[in-house]
Amino acid sequence: MSDRQSSNAYWSANIRTIWICIAIWAFVSYGCGILFRPLLSGISVGGTDLGFWFAQQGSILVFIILIFSYAWRMNKLDREHGVEE
């Protein structure tokens, strides 16, 4: 594989990972916290409904998990393509 093909494969995988993270974040933040809140109102978590919990706590926790999973995935991707630090 040439350097150009390897570089394109690396950035393609990187952009795909970013889009997956953005989709998960958008679903949790906007979907569960705003759009699907009426559907989640019957489920209780910590004394409040699940939609409110996602809007106040869940989206923040998922965002932190996404940060660490992105860093882990990028380290793995860097090793696969030989560009680790």
Give me the helices (H) in 1-85, please: 3-26, 37-40, 50-53, 59-81
Tell me the sheet residues that pair with 48: 45
The confidence band for 18, taking pLDDT boundaries of 50, 70 and 90, is very high
Phi, psi dihedral angles at 47 (to 5 degrees): 85, 5
Q: Which domain holds residue 8?
A: 3-81
Three-state secondary-structure class, residue 81: helix
Q: Cβ distance 85 to 14 under 8 Å? A: no
Q: Cβ distance 3 to 18 under 8 Å? A: no
pTM: 0.79
Count of structural domains, the chain: 1
Could you read off the pLDDT of 22-80 as tens digits, one per residue?
A: 999 999 888 887 888 888 888 887 888 888 887 888 888 999 999 999 999 999 999 99
